[in-house]
Amino acid sequence: MSVDTRPILPGLRERGVDVTGYTAYGRLVYPVTSPGARAISTRRCAQMTESQRGASRRHPSNTSTRPTIRDIAREAGVSVATVSRVTHDDPRVISETKQRVQRAIDRLGYRPSALGRALSYQRTSTLGIVLPGLGGPYFAQLIEGAESVAVQRGVVINVLGTHLRPDAADAVRRLAERTDGLIIAGGTLPDDELAALAATGRVIVVAGEVEGAPTVVTDGRRAAAELTSHLADVHGYRRMRFVGEPDGSPDTAWRYAGFCDALAERGLTEAGEPLRLGLDVRSGAVAARLLHDEADLPDALVCANDELAIGMLATLPGLGHRIPADVAVTGFDDQSLAEIASPRLTTVFQPTAELGARAAAGALGDPIDDNTILPTRLVVRESCGCEPEHAPN
Amino acid sequence: MSVDTRPILPGLRERGVDVTGYTAYGRLVYPVTSPGARAISTRRCAQMTESQRGASRRHPSNTSTRPTIRDIAREAGVSVATVSRVTHDDPRVISETKQRVQRAIDRLGYRPSALGRALSYQRTSTLGIVLPGLGGPYFAQLIEGAESVAVQRGVVINVLGTHLRPDAADAVRRLAERTDGLIIAGGTLPDDELAALAATGRVIVVAGEVEGAPTVVTDGRRAAAELTSHLADVHGYRRMRFVGEPDGSPDTAWRYAGFCDALAERGLTEAGEPLRLGLDVRSGAVAARLLHDEADLPDALVCANDELAIGMLATLPGLGHRIPADVAVTGFDDQSLAEIASPRLTTVFQPTAELGARAAAGALGDPIDDNTILPTRLVVRESCGCEPEHAPN
DNA sequence: CTGAAAGCGCTAACAA
DNA sequence: TTGTTAGCGCTTTCAG
Task: Name the nucleotide with the smallest C1'–CA separation from A120.
Answer: C8
Backbone torsions φ then ψ of A9, nearest 5 degrees: -70, 125
**Does some domain include residue A225?**
yes
Name residues whose C-beta falls within 8 Å of residue A392's C-beta, 6 or more positions apart in sequence: none
Asked if residue B228 and residue B186 are part of one domain, the reply reads: no
Angle between helices B114-121 and A168-177 (to 10 degrees): 80
Asked if residue B382 and residue B243 are part of one domain, the reply reads: yes
**Does some domain include residue B20?**
no
Mean confidence (pLDDT) of chain B: 83
Residues of A in contact with B311 (CB under 8 A): 337, 341
Find out whether A77 and A100 touch, Cβ atoms under 8 Å: yes
- Cα separation, B346 vs B342, in Å, equals 11
Asked if residue B212 and residue B76 are part of one domain, the reply reads: yes
Select the more confidently predicted residue: B20 or B119.
Answer: B119
pLDDT digits (tens, 9 = 90+) for B202-219: 899 999 999 999 999 999
DSSP state of A65: P
For residue B293, the domain's CATH number is 3.40.50.2300
Residue A363: strand, helix, or coil? helix
Q: Select the residue from A20, A216, A319, A333 to test the B interface by mutation, using most B Cβ atoms within 10 A.
A: A20
pLDDT digits (tens, 9 = 90+) for B230-261: 999 999 999 999 999 999 999 999 999 999 99
**Does some domain include residue A34?**
no
Q: What is the pLDDT of residue A385?
A: 96
B258 conformational bin, left if phi > 0, alpha if psi -120 to 50, beta if neither: alpha
Asked if residue A162 and residue A75 are part of one domain, the reply reads: yes
Report the pLDDT averaged over residues B272-280.
Answer: 95
Cβ of residue B103 near strand C, that is under 7 Å? no
Out of B19, B143, B314, whose CB is closest to A341? B314
pLDDT digits (tens, 9 = 90+) for B124-161: 999 999 998 887 899 999 999 999 999 889 899 998 88
- Percent of chain A having pLDDT more than 70? 82
**Does some domain include residue A50?**
no
Residue A107, pLDDT > 50, answer yes
Asked if residue A300 and residue A168 are part of one domain, the reply reads: no
Q: How confident is the model at residue A40 (pLDDT cuts 50, 70, 90)?
A: very low
**Does some domain include residue B96?**
yes
- Asked whether the beta carbons of residue B20 and residue A335 sit closer than 8 angstroms, the reply is yes
- Asked whether the beta carbons of residue B174 and residue A114 sit closer than 8 angstroms, the reply is yes
Least confident segment among A113-127, B28-42, B159-173, B268-282: B28-42
| Nearest to B161, CA basis, from B280, B336, B283 | B280
Q: Select the residue from A342, A349, A371 to test the B interface by mutation, using most B Cβ atoms within 10 A.
A: A342
Asked if residue B383 and residue B363 are part of one domain, the reply reads: no
Cβ of residue B64 near strand C, that is under 7 Å? no
Task: Name the nucleotide with the smallest C1'–CA separation from B96.
Answer: D1
Q: What is the pLDDT of residue A14?
A: 35
Q: What is the pLDDT of residue B15?
A: 30
Q: How confident is the model at residue B295 (pLDDT cuts 50, 70, 90)?
A: confident
- Percent of chain B having pLDDT more than 90? 69
Asked if residue A234 and residue A199 are part of one domain, the reply reads: no
| Nearest to B374, CA basis, from B353, B356, B351 | B351
Residues of B in contact with A219 (CB under 8 A): 3
Residues of B in contact with A161 (CB under 8 A): 140, 143, 147
Asked if residue B163 and residue B245 are part of one domain, the reply reads: no
- Asked whether the beta carbons of residue B8 and residue A213 sit closer than 8 angstroms, the reply is no
Residue range(s) defining the domain that contains residue A128: 69-217+354-375
Domains in chain A, number: 2
**Does some domain include residue B61?**
no
Name residues whose C-beta falls within 8 Å of residue B165's C-beta, 6 or more positions apart in sequence: A147, A151, B171
Find out whether A252 and A208 touch, Cβ atoms under 8 Å: no
Q: Which nucleotides on chain C have any atom < 7 A from a protein Cβ? A: 1-5, 7-13
Find out whether B258 and B221 touch, Cβ atoms under 8 Å: yes
Report the pLDDT averaged over residues B329-340.
Answer: 96
Residue A2, pLDDT > 80, answer no
Backbone torsions φ then ψ of B138, nearest 5 degrees: -60, -55
CA-based angle A122:A127:A132, to the nearest 5? Answer: 140
Residue B10, pLDDT > 70, answer no
pLDDT digits (tens, 9 = 90+) for A330-371: 999 999 999 999 999 999 999 999 999 999 999 999 999 999
Instruction: Report the amino acid identity of residue A241.
Output: R
- Asked whether the beta carbons of residue B336 and residue A21 sit closer than 8 angstroms, the reply is yes
The secondary structure element, H or E, covering residue B300 is strand B300-303
Asked if residue B208 and residue B151 are part of one domain, the reply reads: yes
Q: What is the pLDDT of residue B384?
A: 97
Cβ atoms within 10 Å, residue A121 = 11
Find out whether B185 and B195 touch, Cβ atoms under 8 Å: no
- Asked whether the beta carbons of residue A317 and residue B315 sit closer than 8 angstroms, the reply is no
Q: What is the pLDDT of residue B6?
A: 58
CA of A116 to C1' of C11 (A): 15
CA of B113 to C1' of C15 (A): 27
Residue B225: strand, helix, or coil? helix
Task: Name the nucleotide with the smallest C1'–CA separation from A119.
Answer: C8
Asked if residue B92 and residue B77 are part of one domain, the reply reads: yes
Report the pLDDT averaged over residues B15-24.
Answer: 29
- Asked whether the beta carbons of residue A286 and residue B374 sit closer than 8 angstroms, the reply is no
Select the more confidently predicted residue: A156 or B262.
Answer: B262
Report the pLDDT averaged over residues A248-277.
Answer: 97
Asked if residue A126 and residue A226 are part of one domain, the reply reads: no
**Does some domain include residue A23?**
no
Q: What is the pLDDT of residue B390?
A: 52
pLDDT digits (tens, 9 = 90+) for A113-152: 999 999 999 999 999 999 998 878 999 999 999 999 998 8
CA of A119 to C1' of C5 (A): 17
Q: What is the pLDDT of residue A5?
A: 60
Asked if residue B138 and residue B89 are part of one domain, the reply reads: yes
**Does some domain include residue B330?**
yes
Name residues whose C-beta falls within 8 Å of residue A375's C-beta, 6 or more positions apart in sequence: A218, A351, B3, B4, B5
